[in-house]
Structure 1
């Protein structure tokens, strides 16, 4: 007979590594397949699930979990979303444009330079704080927590500014990118 998840989690709060291993073994596969479905990348999914269980262990003393499976699923979903936000459409556009540029036709090279310039212009048109947070997130690939610490703001503020920048950039670039 196996112990219910919440009983195991109470043992984890008492630093019981065997209970942690049991929960890990019980839930890893399900979270992995969920993350793969979300991210479409097995390597990244493994990293995300590993990160989820690390968070669970690190924050075990502060967590008050009522429904362990739902809680784990929520953390996994949120971590997947964080990773997807880091691979915002502009990185994909630039990669695509780099591939086109590699073919080295004059027309494609001009289109590449125009697109890159348009993206940079749109980023520069963002309000200063939003622009700074966006660059830290997308260019320097800092986490929300790292940005919040660096700029002395809350992580919610960072999330808000990143969300606003993505909305504005997506809207302004949508018609331009539609044609390529």
Structure 2
């Protein structure tokens, strides 16, 4: 690892020459600032760490071919781009989870309903459930949060969370089947 007084331009030149110490110096020089920047946008420690790791891995993988002129600017623009990609993935994951849920609920239906109608029907079904049960359903089935994490966050056992999921799935399935027959 190099001293703090080595300029970014020199570190970039050394990085391009495949110098792992230059990479390590860049990593240590910018990690905290990048983490704070990303954390402020995504609000989660794990997500922020993962984004920074992806960014640094990309920097290392592309070290020989990249033409970075201003390291600090490059890193923060790349971090912003990684955050944007993270949010796009999250949106797609949420849509996929909703699709997966619908596949689970309507295993063999030929009825066609719009995504909006389906979301509204799910919300109506969840409104009839106790708040805790509905919240657990949303967190697990729509937001893809693990049973263990939900249990920890809510101060419940894994088994209690699974009970609420089973209860909510039954209620949502029943409501959605009725919804399909009425439409």
Q: TM-score, normalised by structure 1?
A: 0.53
Distance 1:101 1:114, change over 3 A: farther
2:138 corresponds in structure 1 to 96
What residue is the counterpart of 1:17 in the other structure?
20
Between the aligned partners of 2:178 and 2:82, the Cα distance in structure 1 is: 34
The residue number in structure 2 matching 1:141 is none
CA contact (8 A) 1:101 1:108 kept: no
Higher Rg: 2
How far 1:11 sits from its partner (Å)? 0.8
Which blocks of at least 5 consecutive residues in structure 2 are unaligned? 102-136, 143-163
Q: Offset at 1:104? A: 3.4
**Aligned pair count?**
116
Indicate if the aligned counterparts of 1:24 and 1:53 stay in contact, CA closer than 8 A. Answer: yes
1:118-157 deviation per Cα after TM superposition (whole angstroms, max 9, x unaligned): xxxxxxxxxxxxxxxxxxxxxxxxxxxxxxxxxxxxxxxx
Give the whole-Å Cα distance in 2 for the aligned partners of 1:7 and 1:113. Answer: 65
Displacement over 3 Å in runs of 4+: 91-95, 97-115
Ranges in structure 1 where 5+ consecutive residues have no aligned partner? 118-180
Alignment RMSD (CA, Å): 3.1
| Matched ranges for 1:2-151 at <5 A | 2-88=5-91, 89-90=94-95, 96=138, 98=141, 102-104=166-168, 108-110=172-174
